[in-house]
Amino acid sequence: MRKVFGGGRVFDPRGGGLAAADVAIEGGRIVDVGIDLDGDERIDVGGKALLPGLFDCHVHLALSTIDQWRLLQTPLSYRFYEAARNMRTTLGLGITTVRDAGGADLGMKQAQADGLLAGPRLLISIRMLSQTGGHGDPWLPSGGEAPMFPPYPGSPDAVVDGPEQVRHKIRELVRDGADVIKVASSGGVLSARDDPRHPQFGLDELTAMVDEAAATGRWVMAHAQSARGIKNALRAGVRSIEHGIYLDDEAIDLLLSHGAYLVATLVAPQGVIDAAEQGALIHEASLRKAREVVAIHRDSFSRAVKAGVKVAMGTDSPVTPHGQNLRELGLMVEGGLTAAQALTATTQSAAELTGLEDELGTLEPGKRADLVIVAGDP
């Protein structure tokens, strides 16, 4: 049956604006976009905007808090029910595709694809590769461990050192269903005992990651906050830089020359501060780092935008709670993107980053009928 969504305004990322048009759908695909289209069923959208389904390229659906004490007190199985709620919440924003940066596993992905869970389609990394003592190593001074994600079958521990361990772990993650490989090539904010200004993993290890991932047709996304960690990751050939807090001019040049994407997650540092103010138990060192980087992070993003770096939208939710993902678009506009460019970053550019541009990201014939209807002027 041919269904027509008529009387709307279609967003075209290539043109950067909204234009009056109808969208015809048949068999789950867009078959036509134009004026006064006929169909078996016509749905008048009353002048609303028709957008491609939105993306969030950096989320953690299996996490609902950054409060370490609450995480330690939450049964592992309970997190899967929370994840189901987070998926519904995310889909309710018009986000129909996410790249999960750690936590979601193959079971969650299959449950969504099979219709058992309502939520966006998932691209999963399962676990972030971390070096001993680095961002993501759950070791505690007491001798215990406090992992954000306890290891279990299909979601292995991922603290590794040296090219051989790296290659073995990537093979394990690919076996477990990972669509993309994630690595921490620098310290971070929420890891209390490292520094976001310091690099992690050597170039040989990062190169081994990219090479091993590429052997199975996968890309690497790098949590990279320090200038050197960003540059090492780019020289190794990663697909995207996540966060990019301490970008310098050389790092921006490498982003441009390698054609890599920046997924800035601008909402994240302020999200740490907000969570602490609302009572979340967050280490004082993490809170101090979050306060230090807010302005630096936004300045780095602005310089990258001005230079023409490719940008895709990501949030790092739940650092900022699930359901508030679209706050990132406002910060991207404050950082120098136009409103149309920010929408493009969460549609067409995000689809290109994730390799889904033939199916998603724009409303045009042949692509999936993946669209969002929005009142007003987005």
Catalytic residue positions?
A: 182, 316
Q: Determine the Cα–Cα distance for residues 230 and 124; give it in Å rounded to an integer.
A: 22
- One-letter amino acid at 276 equals A
Chain Cα centroid distance, residue 79:
19
- One-letter amino acid at 160 equals V
- Three-state secondary structure call for residue 268: helix
- Three-state secondary structure call for residue 239: coil
CA distances from 260 to 25, 74, 187, 247, 272 (A): 33, 37, 20, 14, 27
267: part of which helix (H) or strand (E)?
helix 267-277
Dihedrals phi, psi of 345, to nearest 5 degrees: -65, -25
Contact call for residues 139 and 145 (beta carbons, < 8 A) = yes
- Non-local CB neighbours of 224 within 8 Å, separated by 6+ positions: 185, 186, 230, 233, 238, 241, 242, 243, 244
CA 318-202-146 angle, 5° bins: 35
